[in-house]
A and B are shown apart, each in its own frame.
Chain A
Amino acid sequence: MSFEEDLDRQRARIMRAVRYASDGWAAAMRAHKLAPPDAGFAQRLRDLAEAAMNEQVAWEHAHGAGLLWRPVPGAENAAPPYELRPGTGRRGPTLLWERFDAAVAALNHAITGSSAAQVADAFGEFAEVTRALADAVAAEDAMAEARRPRAHGAA
């Protein structure tokens, strides 16, 4: 196999991984977009964090293969789904949400450019803070559940 054929195979494999990661990211976004208020919020955050992590890995490989992210114009001020925006009563630590908002801004900035490495880094930070938020919200849910009076089963 020639060098060029090997390069083509490698790129094709990476492009499939990118497409797979994209499907996961899009599904996670739709889950947030269409969600009823609050129900399953922690799990949606967890799924989103995993989708972002898969994006990070895919775009790191893309960068390693010399591939670029095709710029998305006008992304600088784009907003995530409603329940992830500031001012919507988001549950969880304020400091983490501030870090999340910064990660959104960084991701918006990255996707206006073409650097796959920068996109990967932005997805990585987004994944990390979203996972931390998922853990924090899940802990809140668990505490609320523990405090809830048990109506059944006492007899």
Chain B
Amino acid sequence: MSQSEPEETYLTVAEVAETLKLNQQTVRNWIDQGTLPALRVGRRVRIKRSDFERILEQSYNANRVAPSRQAGPSADDFWGGEPVGVAEPGPAPGRGAARGSGPGAEGGG
């Protein structure tokens, strides 16, 4: 483990729900679905503040970048579980070059 990690603080389900003005069950559903990571200590559940802030950030970013995603995959897609890479023919000299204008293969993370 890294030895210079910043100290982490934790939130309760009630605190997360209150912050977002949501029902606590909604937050519990996120946790059960794995959308919001949580630590279970017996029957108690705690959410890392950093996890909570990340979910908020991702949610805002998802809305903000939506239009640009239509233009093509992004680096966030690459690390986010969406196919991104496309193999396409290079500017090969000679006979193969002219045919290289067809669609590439989607791939590569």
- Which residues of chain A have a CB within 8 Å of any CB of chain B? 3-4, 7-8, 11, 14-16, 18-23, 25-27, 29-30, 33-37, 55, 58-59, 62, 66-70, 72-76, 78-82, 86-92, 94, 97, 108, 111, 114, 116, 119
Contacts and interface: CB of A to CB of B under 8 A. Distances in A.
Contacts of A108: 75
B16 interface: no
B-side interface mostly: loop
Contacts of A27: 81
Contact of A19 (B3, B76, B105): B105
Interface of B: 1-3, 5-6, 8, 34-35, 37-39, 50-51, 54, 73-76, 78-90, 92, 95-96, 99, 104-109
Nearest to A88: B50
24 contacts: A15-B87, A15-B107, A18-B108, A19-B105, A21-B108, A22-B83, A22-B85, A25-B108, A25-B109, A37-B37, A66-B90, A66-B92, A67-B104, A70-B104, A72-B78, A75-B74, A75-B78, A78-B74, A80-B79, A82-B54, A87-B6, A90-B1, A111-B75, A111-B108
Contact of A79 (B79, B83, B88): B79
A14 B51 CA distance: 39
A80 B39 CA distance: 21
Contact of A66 (B73, B74, B96): B96
B49 to A, nearest CB: 12
A18 B2 contact: no
Nearest to A91: B1
B75 A72 contact: yes
Contacts of A66: 89-90, 92, 96
B74 A21 contact: no
Contacts of B108: 18, 21-22, 25, 55, 58-59, 69, 111, 119
Contacts of A30: 80-81
Contacts of B5: 87-89
A23 B2 CA distance: 31
A26 B88 contact: no
Top 7 A-B pairs, shortest CB-CB distance: A15-B105, A18-B107, A78-B75, A75-B75, A30-B81, A22-B107, A70-B86
A111 B96 contact: no
